[in-house]
Amino acid sequence: MKVNIYYGGRGIIDDPTLFVISQITTVLQELNVKVTQYNLFEQKNGITALPNTLKDADGIILASTVEWFGIGGYMMQFLDACWLYGDKDRIRQIYMAPVVMSTTHGEREGMMSLAAAWEMLGGLPCDGMCGYIADTTKLENSAEYARIIDKKTENIYRTINQKMPVFPASNQVVAGKVGVAKSIDLTPQESEQLSEYASDDKYVKKQKEDLQELASIFRDKMGHEDPKGSSEEYINTLKEKFTPVAGVSARYKLVFSDNSKLKPIIIDVDGAKCECRTGDEEGCDVVLTADQRVFEDIFGGRMTFQRAFMAGSVKLKGEFKLLRSMDQLFDLMGD
């Protein structure tokens, strides 16, 4: 029998969850169970490949610590990877026991979240354990707490070893109808290989560089020349397309990151007044930085300011709500 423990905390010394899973490991090993622990904080760059480790496990323990709100980002990344890359047929045969300790509040909600997530993945939940531990030393020195951990661990072992049946859960049905991940027709082996690629930073970086190179080649073949607009032309377009918006008063700056010859554009909006000029002024409410080609797409009506920001083509410094108002102030998409 093999049990994997996935620890989603930060690995700090006084984390009560670390003590609990240490006790669980000791009890399981005494019952001749092979236990392997995966610390997600140590493998944060390879979390997407960890679902591959589920294939030879009879049961797993998902352990996390609630430090302020929820089960933490590492555990959510692992569950996301199970949803995207995990072998669902194999997951349906695996029991999962949640272990959530809290140093603040919300340990019961965290345990329920892990159980619900595993059920939505199709897996088999079994009773776990949770508790509020303000002082880890009290947990370590308490014989009563040790007996609780031992007893609950024995119940986990019994459930997995005897393959006890569990009642169907409604969230499994709901997930099967409305929460189905988009199918890409991959075999479990192909999905495993894809998860390994996704966790390889060098591979992902190389793919992005290849895509940028291909995009450049296609632009050249389609006859797209380098942008030739000037700051003065962009200013004239802004003045022509300006539409006052009640309550909007702000100073914007547009910075061309790839063309040092183009001066930044300052846009002063005060109600029905709009003044545009070139200059590198400080104290602006919003600073937008992008390549000239991106700004050409925006001024040409092929892209909005907000959409360019959401796509990652524009860097924003300042208030997001003022960025949204730019598409209202300047109707560049209009005829």
- Residue with the bigger pLDDT between 178 and 103: it is 103
Model confidence at 183, pLDDT cuts 50, 70, 90, reads very low
Whether residues 21 and 115 fall in one domain: yes
Which residues lie closer than 8 Å to 123 by C-beta, 6 or more apart? 91, 92, 94, 95, 96
Condensed to tens digits (0 to 9), the pLDDT of residues 272-311 reads 899 999 988 888 999 999 998 888 888 888 888 888 888 8
CATH number at residue 296: 3.30.1050.10
In this prediction, residue 266 carries a pLDDT of: 94
Whether residues 319 and 172 fall in one domain: no
Whether residues 16 and 125 fall in one domain: yes
Q: Are 21 and 63 in contact (CB under 8 A)?
A: yes
Give a yes or no: residue 217 inside a domain: no
Whether residues 270 and 173 fall in one domain: no
Domain encompassing residue 319: 231-329
Q: Are 155 and 125 in contact (CB under 8 A)?
A: no
Looking at the structure of the chain, the number of domains it has is 2
Condensed to tens digits (0 to 9), the pLDDT of residues 197-242 reads 655 666 666 766 676 666 666 655 554 555 567 889 999 999 999 9
Give the three-state DSSP class for 97.
strand
Give a yes or no: residue 10 inside a domain: yes
Give a yes or no: residue 215 inside a domain: no
Condensed to tens digits (0 to 9), the pLDDT of residues 80-89 reads 999 988 898 8
- Residue with the bigger pLDDT between 326 and 221: it is 326
Residues in the chain: 335
Whether residues 20 and 167 fall in one domain: yes
In this prediction, residue 106 carries a pLDDT of: 92
Whether residues 282 and 140 fall in one domain: no
The average confidence (pLDDT) of the chain is: 85
Model confidence at 46, pLDDT cuts 50, 70, 90, reads confident
In this prediction, residue 208 carries a pLDDT of: 67
Whether residues 171 and 245 fall in one domain: no
Report d(CA 303, CA 296) in Å as an integer: 9
CATH number at residue 189: 3.40.50.360
Give a yes or no: residue 177 inside a domain: yes
Of 65-69, 186-190, 211-215, which one has max mean pLDDT? 65-69
Whether residues 244 and 178 fall in one domain: no
Q: Choose the weakest-confidence range: 129-133, 155-159, 217-221.
A: 217-221
Checking if the pLDDT of 175 tops 70, the result is no
pTM of the model: 0.56
Give a yes or no: residue 80 inside a domain: yes
